[in-house]
Amino acid sequence: SANADALIELEKRGIKIHPSPETLSIIKDKFLQKEFLTSHGIPVAPYTVVESKGDVLAFGKTHGYPLVLKSRHGAYDGRGNRTIESEDNIEALMSELQGTLYVEAWVPFVKELAVVAARGEGGEVRTYPVVETIHTDHICDTVIAPAPVDATIREKAEELARKILTVFNGAGVFGIEMFLTADGKVLINEIAPRVHNSGHFTLGGSSISQFAQHMRAVSGEVLEEPLMLRPVAVMKNIIGGRTAPADPQGVEEAKKLGAHVEIYGKHETKPKRKMGHLVVVGDEVEETLARAKQAHSHISI
């Protein structure tokens, strides 16, 4: 993980760094991230720091079970997260996670949403469409852009994304993960100060990819207003299922179905390791999703 203290020292020497080391130091500690968001009136699930089993027990008495126990640093793709179903498995799950911990109340969400947003050096913000992210085993499997939700929900999510980019300093692309509840509330889950898996649909699905937008942001160029190339884009991750040298198969067959395929060039495939992704665009969600699944079924790695 990035060393925020070292970056702060470099910034003092006059070196331009994006996003700001101050922002990085807040975001990389997920508990501090929650405190920062709360202090700015941005809605998140209830949470508390965990120093002992007693902290979890007290939190559970207030918020009920299940709870989500999380590492404060370094967790991604479900690594560093454990679901506590009852008091009986608190100790065992705490022992599985390393470093400092915190616990969150379970959010009974109906969908997971995300917004990729870019902030320029001058503070201007451009947002990509609100997307739905569908996870399997805590790993993002599918992204649908735009999210098939009411316009009012999309507006709430975009408004939150814009507010977040006004309170965090620095230029660049941010990935902002959210929960949508049954009563229409949108809560912030986590923020990544970088290009994000939920924005990979922009490669092949948008007039400017999140990567090109990020380069414009950090180099001081004017940001582009991203436009969908077709009404719908669906991204599916290509996940490893074995431990062996990588051997991508079926890519050309997927491309024949209209898929934009990115293989990341990792030399070794491993279970649950992201090895690539594909993007399919279309005019309607169900048809585009079906074509993306069909293209995905041809690929092994």
Confidence of residue 232 (pLDDT cuts 50, 70, 90): very high
* 12-16, 32-36, 186-190: segment of lowest average pLDDT: 12-16
Beta bridge partners of 181: 109
pLDDT at 3 over 80: no
Mean of pLDDT values over 128-132: 98
**pLDDT by residue (tens digit) across 27-59?**
888 999 999 999 999 999 999 999 999 999 999
Residues 6+ apart with CB under 8 A from 70: 30, 80, 81, 82, 97, 101, 102, 103, 104
Confidence of residue 17 (pLDDT cuts 50, 70, 90): low
Distance CA(24)–CA(2), nearest Å, equals: 8
- Give the H/E segment covering residue 125: strand 125-127
pLDDT at 76: 65
Q: Beta 109-119 vs 101-105: how paired, if at all?
A: unpaired
